[in-house]
Structure 1
Amino acid sequence: MTIDTDGLQHIATFCGQCNCGCPELYLDPSADEERRVVISDDFGQRIQMSVRQLADLVADARNGVLDEVLAGA
């Protein structure tokens, strides 16, 4: 299942090594600031967040916050 990407600016595909509908990151320039970032999953679902929330997530990842989660996976 895929999401409607009309009007969205594609930023990144996570995985991209298959045809499974990998998670993707988009920007929606027409959305309210609190919903500008769109992340889709391979089940056709999506989450929306602000650019600030994405920046916090990226900073946490850079600082190792997610390392413990990934080590247990």
Structure 2
Amino acid sequence: MREPLEHIVTFCGQCNCGCPELFLDHDADEERRVVITDDFGARIQMSLAQLHDLVSDVKEGALDKLFAS
């Protein structure tokens, strides 16, 4: 039997401070299949389609102004 949460990626991962992680929850409804946890113990859930839209927006520069100096 497989685990309900499949680890996909750890963001940062260069420390032991509880970096944000992305999982797939195979037992969740389609709308809540993607799980992102943060280093404070919070989590958000979204669909794969929502994650795709988020990643596409980031790739297209939607967050660039946050990092401009």
Fold shared by both chains (TM-score > 0.5): yes
The answer to which structure has the higher strand fraction is 2
In 1: Cα distance, 2:27 partner to 2:4 partner:
8
Matched with 1:33 is 30
Q: Which 4+ stretches in 1 moved above 4 angstroms?
A: none
1:7 positional shift? 1.9
In 2: Cα distance, 1:35 partner to 1:71 partner:
32
Residue correspondences, number:
67
In 1: Cα distance, 2:4 partner to 2:26 partner:
8
From 56, 65, 70, the counterpart of 2:67: 70
Identify the structure with bigger relative contact order (alpha carbons < 8 Å, sequence gap 6+).
Answer: 1
Q: Which runs of 5+ in 1 are unaligned?
A: 1-5
Percent same amino acid at aligned positions? 69
Q: Which amino acid aligns with 2:56?
A: A
